[in-house]
Structure 1
Amino acid sequence: MNTSSKNKKKSGGFDFQPFVKPALIAGGAIVVLAILVGVAIWLRTLEPVEAFIRKYPGQSEANAVETGLPAWLGWQHFLNAFFMLLIIRTGILVRTTQRPQGHWTRNNKGLIKTKGAPKKISMNLWIHFVFDALWVLNGIVFYILLFSTGQWRRIVPADWDIFPHAVSSALQYASMNWPAEMGWTNYNGLQVLSYFLVVFVAAPLSLLTGLRMSNIWPEDAKINKFYPAPVARAIHFPTMVFFLAFIAVHVTLVFVGSVVAGHGLGGNLQHMYAASDDNQLLGFIMFAVSIVVMVAGWFLARPVFLTPLANMFGKVSR
């Protein structure tokens, strides 16, 4: 701590230094966003741009479904969000905690066995692995249902016109004149590409890099020469940042999009949580319950509460 900071603390003054950098970043982001909005609004005054948007309004017919959003997709959405929230939380704790509250050692009696004595890991890392496993299990169920019901068409580009539709959607969002809300049967091009990246690129990357850094990865595997742990580590954290950015934008667009479309706050919530296109109240109630569950999970996902469970699969020690 420098002398000026010490003097401020002694005199009772407030130290603004820690907030300068975040404030500059936030201010810069707002300026960039304002410029993008201004440019998009100006572009939409040009007839060729408006003609392009009329030709590609946002939704590709190749990605349309007739069945709406099934109930299982809503449950999968909640479980994925729940596990992802706790994975991100525990992942941050693994990176930032200097002195873990406890450690866990595997009993080496399960399906996966290691040579020599099992390695000791922090309880934060063990909890992180547990939610990773639950997230992967949920993902496997999701993939099976997605491709066995035809719902894959929602998020897998089925025609090259998805790209101009995505550009059109981006222009409409940026100009504050948003594309038509048709999420019940057809996502717009930008949504399709975003969900495809999350489900089929970012999620597998997160899994493969996480496995490479875990203690269950074989140390003498031949692939290690081409896929060293530092490479996995360099990919894993940025992937988490991508998830955080996606979640922030996704949640914002869910609520703002419902209002812009004239459906009220519960417009999109009824799709995702109530599997309905005309029951906003039920969707909002189920959303509120899910938030309570997530907050409870955030509070309970700690070594002090999960030690008894950890002891069933290994040994917890200080």
Structure 2
Amino acid sequence: MTVTPTKPSRAAEWWRVQRRRVLWGVAIAVVALVVAVVVARLLRGLPAVEAFVAEYPGVVPPPEGTPVGIPAWLGWQHFLNAFFLALLVKTGLELRSKRRPPGFWTRDNTRWPRTTRAPRRLGIWLWFHLWLDAFWVLTGVSYVVLLFATGQWLRIVPTDWAVVPNAISAALQYASLDWPTEDSWVVYNSLQQLAYFTVVFIAAPLALLTGLRLSSAWPVEGRLASPSSERLARAIHYPVMLFFLAFTFVHVVLVFTTGALRKLNQMYTARDADDWLGFAVFALSVAVMAAAWVLARPPLLKRIAAKSGRVQG
């Protein structure tokens, strides 16, 4: 009896390709990291490079009036951003897998706010992704408002062109495994400052705008619905997600290799201390995110979605 091999589904093939890409990506990243360290250490042995590092140590003095310390609301923002970003990555990967959604949600037009438009059916993963987007945007808007209301923007918005050579110097020091001297309770080093500025004012708006273009809220007819704008949004949205993942990975690695207890206290308890309280709060936040990741499964999502519409499948 001849057994015909089963052809893998499109979704299974997609996940197989992604796993292969991840493995290749990790291998390339490891090789690139080793090369970067070797090159950086060779450069640090050159007198001209050492003179450059001495002139630009990696930190630009903050402008007058810059607040010292990290407020408690920033710790909550840090957790909420990480929480929503983790679930956005989960749902984004599900959407990109092209698997048939395990259920479909249709809006109940009899509920407030009422609309005369025909209801649109959304896959349960897309429905959840859009709700996460809404909460993430709300968190981001409150963050920006508080950032400017409390003067904390002075800590992450460059106000001096000296930030560029100092960022190069800081990157060179990190790459050579000779960490730059810094005190993030008072001022971020220039590389940190540029990274945070990019995340808040460039990557986040790009993620929002491209995600909005790809969402069901975007008009399906008219000039705004051109296929070219959709293609451009798709070409940007996924790389932005990868940028957030890369930033998060580097951010976590540096936190744990440059004085973890003190950094975690600053980030999660708004204290410049080196006890274990910040680590405990961090561990609790990771446990909450892990639980949310595990619980965010179709059966629970469909029960929640049924509160605001009709769920099929």
- TM-score of the superposed pair, with normalisation by structure 2: 0.88
State the Cα distance separating 1:43 from its structure 2 match.
1.1
- 2:250 maps to 249
Aligned length: 297
**Structure 1 residues 62 and 22, CA, compared in 2 at 3 Å: closer, same or farther?**
closer
Name the CA distance, whole Å, in 2 between partners of 1:145 and 1:195. Answer: 16
- 1:130 maps to 131
Counterpart AA for 1:119: R
Counterpart AA for 2:34: A
Matched, 1:305 2:300: yes
**Structure 1 residues 24 and 285, CA, compared in 2 at 3 Å: closer, same or farther?**
closer
State the Cα distance separating 1:24 from its structure 2 match.
5.2
Encode CA deviations 1:121-170: one digit per residue, 9 max, x unaligned. Answer: 11011111111111001111101100000001111111111101100000
Counterpart AA for 2:35: I
**Structure 1 residues 200 and 22, CA, compared in 2 at 3 Å: closer, same or farther?**
closer
Name the CA distance, whole Å, in 1 between partners of 2:187 and 2:209. Answer: 31
SS at match of 1:121: strand
- 2:99 maps to 98
- 1:74 maps to 75
State the Cα distance separating 1:220 from its structure 2 match.
2.7
- 2:282 maps to 287
Matched, 1:39 2:39: yes
Name the CA distance, whole Å, in 2 between partners of 1:83 and 1:184. Answer: 25
**Structure 1 residues 213 and 110, CA, compared in 2 at 3 Å: closer, same or farther?**
farther
State the Cα distance separating 1:25 from its structure 2 match.
4.6
SS at match of 1:266: helix
Counterpart AA for 1:211: L
- 1:12 maps to none
Name the CA distance, whole Å, in 2 between partners of 1:235 and 1:111. Answer: 32
* 8 Å Cα contact 1:63-1:155 kept in structure 2: no
Matched, 1:202 2:197: no
* 8 Å Cα contact 1:40-1:175 kept in structure 2: yes
**Structure 1 residues 309 and 185, CA, compared in 2 at 3 Å: closer, same or farther?**
same
Encode CA deviations 1:233-276: one digit per residue, 9 max, x unaligned. Answer: 11111111111111111111110122xxxxxx312101100100
Name the CA distance, whole Å, in 1 between partners of 2:170 and 2:255. Answer: 15
Name the CA distance, whole Å, in 2 between partners of 1:147 and 1:18. Answer: 40
* 8 Å Cα contact 2:158-2:193 kept in structure 1: yes
Name the CA distance, whole Å, in 2 between partners of 1:199 and 1:277. Answer: 24
Counterpart AA for 1:253: L
- 2:56 maps to 56
Counterpart AA for 2:284: V
Matched, 1:224 2:219: no
- 1:163 maps to 164
Counterpart AA for 2:120: K
- 1:183 maps to 184
Name the CA distance, whole Å, in 2 between partners of 1:299 and 1:223. Answer: 37
- 1:173 maps to 174
* 8 Å Cα contact 1:104-1:126 kept in structure 2: yes
Which one is further off, 59-68 or 152-161?
Answer: 59-68
Name the CA distance, whole Å, in 1 between partners of 2:257 and 2:240. Answer: 26
**Structure 1 residues 177 and 113, CA, compared in 2 at 3 Å: closer, same or farther?**
farther
* 8 Å Cα contact 1:63-1:186 kept in structure 2: no
Name the Cα RMSD after superposition.
Answer: 2.4
Counterpart AA for 2:33: L
Counterpart AA for 2:310: K
Matched, 1:277 2:272: yes
Name the CA distance, whole Å, in 1 between partners of 2:97 and 2:20. Answer: 22
**Structure 1 residues 23 and 203, CA, compared in 2 at 3 Å: closer, same or farther?**
closer
* 8 Å Cα contact 1:266-1:281 kept in structure 2: yes
Encode CA deviations 1:18-45: one digit per residue, 9 max, x unaligned. Answer: 9887655544432322221111111111
- 2:291 maps to 296
- TM-score of the superposed pair, with normalisation by structure 1: 0.87
State the Cα distance separating 1:176 from its structure 2 match.
0.6
Matched, 1:89 2:84: no
**Structure 1 residues 21 and 94, CA, compared in 2 at 3 Å: closer, same or farther?**
closer
